[in-house]
Amino acid sequence: MLCLPAMQNSQPNPTPVPTEAARSVKVVVVTTVMLSFISFWRAASIVLADLASTAYYIGGITESAIGTAAPYFILAVMMFAYAVRAVYIESCSMFTRGGVYRVVRSSLGPNLAKVSVSALMFDYVLTGPISSVSAGQYLSGLINSFAKQFGWSNELLPPDIISVVIAICITLFFWWENTKGIEESSEKALRIMQITTVMIAVMLVWAGLTLATRGFKWPVFDFNFSEESLGFIHGWEIGKKLLTGETIGLIGILIALGHSMLAMSGEESLAQVYREIEAPKLQNLKRAGFIIWAFSIVFTAGFSFLAVMIIPDSVRVSIFKDNLLSGLALNLIGPEWATYALNAFVVIVGVLILSGAVNTSFIGANGVLNRVAEDGILADWFRKPHPTYGTTFRMINLITAFQLITILLSRGNVILLGEAYAFGVIWSFVFNAFAMLALRFKDTSKRRYKVPLNIHIGKVEFPVGIALIFIVLLAVAIVNLFTKSIATVAGILFTLFFMILFNVSERLNARQKEQAKKNPRGAISLEDLEKLEKFNQESGLKITPESIGSEKKSRVLVAVKDPKNLEHFDKAIDTIDTDKTDIIVMTVRVLEDEQPFNPEMTRQERELFTEIVNIAEDVGKPVIPLLVPSYNAFFSIVNSAKELGVTDVYLGESERFSMETELEQLAMIWGYEQRDADKKIMFRVIADDKAKIEVEL
């Protein structure tokens, strides 16, 4: 956004100001918290950094819990993930700033929304630590394996201690990257997934040659439940039968699914990153979802099978449970130096992708907390933008603190983190699926996308697809409460902590709202600020394309005034290709004679630009908003168009002037100001799709 100091003349027929004076004017640039967009490849990379990174630890965790049937259940969960993802796609099509909190709040009310987001935060707080600690385990294992080759009998580095140190370093690195913004972090996520794809291709070919040489045999579908995997029920009669293998049944299958479900971590991140996906928004979300599904099937499920098929039973769990893919690399055919080199490649890629999962946890948790803060449940203090990067850095700092504490408490134990991890994952899915199921009956408006398998009986639609997904998720979640004792205790305590935090913060906000009612007339209350976008300001710049952040050669200007009269802006953002053209959205604050300019934005201006930002996010196209104080609105529009070198100017129908009068005023000023006859500009006045006037001057 751009703010110009006052220009001259407040009469209906403006007296033009010399161009030299306009060029010398200093501006105040105001930016939003987040108004940049990323491709579906980058969006998929952000989610995959979490979802696909589980391939590095899910096999060891699941087999330690349930036995050699683990790969089959991991594959089943990866297939089921596509159905869960469909629920998220439907919710995203309804709520651009969506996710579990917004969906549950709209369907089930604010109290259950706070419970759901509290459980979800437990997921995000553990995503970073389990990924970064796992990366540390792989790296320390690599160093120790090389040391053993050179005759070192004992471990050169204690894995757990080194894992904690490495995890802290990774967390601090991505704290800074996310403080700088999502474009910075999504670029790195894309590069990580490109390198990971190369590693996967090499490993698949090498593993294929190994199986062809040694012989091909599918893993035995066998259960071997550990006492830890049964949690509270290991002493019950059903627990004893499961431990001895006397029975499996539906309970055993649900327990096995519960221990495999953390392979699906990352789905909520898709909803959080949807806000930043570029146009065409929903289509790109579907593309990202398919890429995520295909990649995770090959990598997470495929490599779980390969590990059981290639690594000997005697060492797979006892030695390689914390770094299963290293075990896979070291047990492939070929000279010893080659398998060690491959292991080094696998570990380096693992450190990268597991580090990327830390990045995803920051992005997802930050998005969730932003939704909560926008509703006044989290203190408005957290929403203040970073003075340089415009990000909600205080929320990022809070997330960092929780993750660092979790890393220290875990002492580098991946299995322990994996046991605790599943609570937030499964219950966030349950709340989201149930809320979307309820919304099918509560809100029957037309949707751009629906989860398949819907049956119509008369005028009533029964969402069988969502209902089946919800039943499966709820059954697994309930079983997890009794079989994952660490997750149940830690998850409930963490959820209660966040519930208390949210309730205390909400009450403090309510008190401040009461005080804000005593503000002078016209001031912006705290309640208003919660609903409006946050903005930064930077003063002392000239009105040039460079100063407002316009980097493209082509530019158009859209003049706006009323948040309820934006048909011309809708038209512009729908039709203009923002890959080639910058859309500059400008409003003019008309000043009285000799009235000083106050850079503080008024309530109306905040409402206007909040609506502009919301529309831009819904479409997925970036805009550059400007605020121009002036004594004459028409002069400001013409002068800004000239100084910024725009090709087109879009205007809405004025309350004071007819379309013809608007163009007459603009043409008169343009004729006075424009000396170069070769430079042309198209002025478009648009009231709605059926009423518009276009004049080239």
Q: Is the pLDDT of residue 327 over 90?
A: yes
What is the reported pLDDT for 178? 85
Q: Is residue 116 part of a domain?
A: yes
Same domain, 22 and 61: no
Same domain, 211 and 240: yes
**301 is written with which tokens?**
């499920």
With a pLDDT cut of 90, the percent of the chain lying above it is 36
Same domain, 432 and 318: yes
Of 128, 104, 130, nearest to 117 (Cα)? 104
Q: Is residue 52 part of a domain?
A: yes
Residue 201 — very low, low, confident or very high, per pLDDT cuts 50/70/90? very high
Residue 518 — very low, low, confident or very high, per pLDDT cuts 50/70/90? low
What is the reported pLDDT for 294? 94
Q: Is the pLDDT of residue 7 over 50?
A: no
**351 is written with which tokens?**
């450190």
Last residue of a domain, one of 441, 471, 497: 497
**97 is written with which tokens?**
């700033």
Q: Is residue 641 part of a domain?
A: yes
Chain segment 453-466, per-residue pLDDT in tens: 999 998 889 999 99
What is the reported pLDDT for 305? 96
What is the reported pLDDT for 548? 82
Chain segment 535-590, per-residue pLDDT in tens: 655 555 577 888 888 889 899 999 999 998 999 999 999 999 999 999 999 988 88
Same domain, 550 and 416: no
76 contacts 157 by C-beta, under 8 angstroms: no
What is the reported pLDDT for 627? 84
Total domain count for the chain? 2
Last residue of a domain, one of 471, 497, 523: 497
The rounded mean pLDDT for the chain is 83
Same domain, 22 and 45: no
What is the reported pLDDT for 470? 97
Same domain, 216 and 124: yes
- Residue 245 identity: G
Q: In what order do the strands lie in the sheet with 624-630?
A: 624-630, 581-590, 554-559, 648-652, 682-688, 691-696
Same domain, 607 and 471: no
- What is the rounded distance in angstroms from the CA atom of residue 673 to the CA atom of residue 367? 46
**162 is written with which tokens?**
């080194």
Same domain, 25 and 46: no
**Count, residues in the chain:** 697
CATH number of domain containing 305 = 1.20.1740.10
11: Cβ–Cβ under 8 A, 6 or more apart, which residues?
A: 632
Q: Which residue has the higher pLDDT, 382 or 671?
A: 382
Q: Is the pLDDT of residue 322 over 60?
A: yes
Q: Which domain holds residue 619?
A: 2-33+535-696
Q: Is residue 513 part of a domain?
A: no
522 contacts 14 by C-beta, under 8 angstroms: no
Residue 383 — very low, low, confident or very high, per pLDDT cuts 50/70/90? confident
- What is the rounded distance in angstroms from the CA atom of residue 110 to the CA atom of residue 115? 9
What is the reported pLDDT for 316? 92
Handedness of CA 544, 572, 180, 295 (dihedral sign): negative
Query: How many CB atoms lie under 10 A from the CB of residue 8?
Result: 16
Query: How many CB atoms lie under 10 A from the CB of residue 48?
Result: 29
